[in-house]
Chain A
Amino acid sequence: MSSDRTLPTRPFRDAPHDKRGALTPTLYRVIERIRETSDVTTLLLEPLDEPLMTYRCGQFNMLSSFGVGEIAISLSSAPSEPLLRHSVRDVGAVSHALCQRTVGDLVGVRGPFGSDWLVECDNDNAETDVRDTVVVAGGIGLAPLRGAVEELVRTSERGGGRVFVLVGAREPAQIVFTADHDSWEARGATVLVTVDRATPTWTGRVGLVTSLLADAGFDPEHSRAMLCGPEIMMRFTARALVDLGMNPEGILVSLERNMQCGVGWCGHCQLGPFLLCRDGPVVPYAGLVSHLLTQREL
């Protein structure tokens, strides 16, 4: 069992690795605000002075709306993009306050924290013969994956492995980043979208996100996967991928727990033996995590 506990796929480093200290927010200004759906807003941010450290796809920042509070929000930009990008779903006090920010407003940013999707790892791995990447997202789960898909598509354009983006949403109006879907498709990626509930004007697929796996066209034995969405969705998708022949070691999932400090001090984000702000949010599905995801009370 002990080998299952070696969760992080990178050695842990104290974060942030920055002279400002782990708990001090840096001021960022909202440069652009995009209303993605009725409850998801994207903020594009620029630092007021020295920017935070560079980040990797899948990591998160703690965003604060002054006078209201601070919450964990994933980076949905790719490190190669000029502005920090965060997409926030309005579910409570702090997320609501952040969604209300408009161009010119200030927000506090701490980070970057946590583990990442390892997109820059050489996918064309001769040893394991893994070439392609399957990205499966449910609802707002595409936010932590958006930057990764950008990087993967870029690599694919330069002759890297193929990219398959499979998206599930409750209904058409809740599909996020549709302009990105078009751009990824135009650059060679396969993008498939399905909804649980169709509206009269919807002409696409209707069904569970797992129904996209069979005819997406990837070779499960030579692919890796990145999953983000509700935990039940990730559990079922991971099992379906393994049933299709994918190596569980090649499946990464992103897990969310309530986060406060973001740096492994307070214990709020504990899942079994792991602190997800430090050991996660991106963790390998194989081993202990697949077991923990089926536990009733954690």
Chain B
Amino acid sequence: MTTGMRELVERHPFMAGVSEESLELVVGCARNVAFAPGSLLCAEGESADTFYLLRRGRVSVNVHAPGRGSIVIETVGPGDVVGWSWLVPPFRWTFDARAMDRVGCIAIDGACLRTKSLTDPSLGFELLSKVSVTLLARLQATRMRLLDLYGDQRVE
């Protein structure tokens, strides 16, 4: 069972290049989960102690706006990560994440990882380095979208 989980975690792109020792510690905090289409991986405002490494299916990240319903901010798919709120206090989800189809992912217990990182700072460092790369890519993509690229592409 743990060998299977180890393989799953190791094969996920987010974990590429993570040391053997850290991988072992992450596997100890991981479980395999599935979500039916339409179900929530996490809900805005609830306590956030998990993050998900997506293996199959697509997930939409939504925010609820009064009078406008649920607005999709972004969609992510296999190889992506869902959930950063487990990293920083108050450990509360700031968005909904909803399965768009059948989703298979590895759920990682954030509290478990935080505890292990306190006793093993190299795990904390490796994970934060990984998270930073992904967050930076997301931030850059968000900035590009703020530019409203396709709105007006005229050249003088």
Instruction: Enumerate chain A interface residues (CB-CB to B < 8 A).
Output: 91, 138-140, 168-170, 174, 194, 196, 198, 200, 202-208, 210-211, 214-215, 229-233, 236, 256-258
Known contacts A198-B71, A208-B141, A208-B144: A170-B149 contact under CB 8 Å: yes
Q: Do B77 and A196 touch across chains, with their CB atoms under 8 A apart?
A: no
Give the complex CA separation of A201 and B76 in angstroms.
Answer: 18
Q: Could you list 4 further interchain pairs (A-B, Cβ under 8 angstroms) beyond the known A138-B150, A139-B149, A196-B149?
A: A91-B152, A207-B76, A207-B145, A258-B156
Chain B positions near chain A (C-beta within 8 angstroms): 58, 60, 68-79, 100, 141, 144-145, 147-156
Cβ of B70: which chain A residues have Cβ within 8 Å of it? 200
Once the chains bind, are B155 and A258 in contact (CB under 8 Å)?
yes
**Would A170 and B75 count as touching, CB distance under 8 A?**
no
User: Do the beta carbons of B145 and A208 come within 8 Å of each other?
Assistant: yes
Q: Which of B58, B76, B145, B147 has the most CB of A within 10 A?
A: B145
A-B contact pairs, 28 of them (CB 8 A): A91-B154, A138-B149, A138-B150, A138-B153, A140-B150, A168-B150, A169-B150, A170-B149, A170-B151, A174-B150, A198-B71, A198-B72, A203-B100, A207-B75, A207-B145, A208-B144, A210-B141, A211-B141, A214-B79, A215-B78, A215-B79, A229-B149, A230-B153, A232-B144, A232-B149, A233-B149, A258-B155, A258-B156
What residues on B are CB-neighbors of A211 within 8 Å? 141
On whether A196 and B150 interact (CB within 8 A), knowing A205-B58, A208-B144, A258-B156, the answer reads yes
Closest Cβ–Cβ distance, residue A272 to chain B (whole Å): 14
Which residue of chain B lies nearest to A204 when distances are taken between CB atoms in the complex? B75
A215–B77 CB distance below 8 A: yes
Whole-angstrom distance between the Cβ of B99 and the nearest chain A Cβ: 13
Least distance between B131 CB and chain A CB atoms (Å): 18
Main secondary structure of the interface of B (DSSP, over half): loop
Contacts of B72 in A (CB 8 A): 198, 202, 206
Query: Does A205 lie within 8 Å of B144, measured CB to CB?
Result: no
C-alpha gap A198/B68 in the complex (Å): 12
- A56–B69 alpha-carbon span in the complex (Å): 47
Bound-state Cα–Cα, A93 to B78, Å: 46
How far, in whole Å, are A238 and B92 apart by their CA atoms in the complex? 37
Asked, given contacts A210-B141, A236-B144, A257-B155, whether A230 binds B149 with beta carbons under 8 Å apart, the answer is yes
**CB atoms of B155 and A139 under 8 A apart:** no
A207 contacts B141, C-beta separation under 8 Å: yes
- Within the complex, the shortest CB–CB distance from B128 to chain A, in Å, comes to 22
Which residues in A have their C-beta under 8 angstroms from that of B75?
A: 194, 204-207
